[in-house]
Amino acid sequence: MKSTASLHDKELATVKKSRLRENVEAILLAILLALFIRTFIVQAFKIPSGSMEDTLLIGDHILVNKFMYGIRMPFSNQTIVPVKEPQRGDIVVFKFPGDPKVDYIKRVVGLPGDVVECRDKEVFVNGQPEENPFAVHKDTYTIRQKYPPRDNFGPITVPPDNLFVMGDNRDNSNDSRFWGFVDFDKLRGKAFMIYWSWDSDDFAVRWRRLGDILH
C-alpha cells in the first residue's frame, strides 16, 4: 500500500511540474510575442499636449505602425529592411532631436529636397500653399518678424534623409520651425488610430473618438 501511495504521489508531483513548466513556457512566449509586436509592428502612445489639436487631443491614446517605414534594428533604430518612404501629411512619432529619450508626434510637411516657407501663418511647399485641411490657428495675432519663427520663416530646403514637421495646432506647437529637421533614423512609426480617449477635465471617456482612423 505504501509503495502504491508513494508511486501515486510521484505521479502527482510529475503532473504538477509538467503543468508548471507549461504555464511558464506560455507566459514567456506571450512576453516574447508582446516584445516582438511592440518592437517591430505596433506600439501604443499617449498624447500629452495640444500641439496636434484638433486632430489629436490631450488624453488620446493612439496606435503607431512601426513597420510602415521599414524594419529597424532594436536600440540602434537603423533601418535594415526598407518598406515605404514617409509622405507629406503623414502623422509620425519620432525621437525628439534635442532629447532622444522624448517622443514627439507631428505631421510631415516637407520631404527631402522640398523648399518650405511660411508667410504670415500660411505655409508654402515648393512655392505652393500647403494642402493640409487639419491645420488650425487659434491665435489671431501674427508675429511679423522671422524670430521667433512661428508665423514667418524660410525659405529653407529640407536636406536628404530628413523631414520638416509641424503640429496641426500651428500657434501652439514646438516643431521644425524652432529646432530643425527630423532624421529618418529618428522615426518611430506612423500613427494610424485612436484606440482610447480620456478627458481629464470632464473625467469622462470620449466615446466618439474611439476607433477613429487618423489622416
Catalytic (active-site) positions = 51, 106
Write down the pLDDT at residue 2.
47
pLDDT tens, 64-103?
998 888 766 666 666 666 668 999 999 999 999 999 999 9
Structural contact between residues 66 and 40, judged by C-beta atoms closer than 8 angstroms: yes
Is 47-209 assigned to CATH 3.40.50.300?
A: no
Structural contact between residues 138 and 150, judged by C-beta atoms closer than 8 angstroms: no
The reported pTM is 0.81
Mean pLDDT is highest, among 4-13, 21-30, 201-210, for 201-210
Q: Which residue has the cell 491614446?
A: 61
> What is the mean pLDDT of the segment spanning 114-126?
97
pLDDT tens, 150-204?
999 999 999 999 999 999 999 999 999 999 999 998 999 999 999 999 999 999 9
Q: CB within 8 A of 164, min separation 6: which ones? A: 108, 109, 110, 111, 114, 116, 156, 158, 176, 181, 182
Write down the pLDDT at residue 192.
96
φ, ψ of residue 49 to 5 degrees: the values are -135, 175
pLDDT band at 211 (very low <50, low <70, confident <90, very high): very high
pLDDT tens, 23-40?
666 666 555 545 544 555
- Listed by start position, the domains of the chain span 1-41, 47-209
How many CB atoms are closer than 10 A to CB 13? 10
pLDDT band at 129 (very low <50, low <70, confident <90, very high): very high
Q: Which residue has the higher pLDDT, 22 or 208?
A: 208
Q: How far apart are the first and last CA of the chain?
A: 74
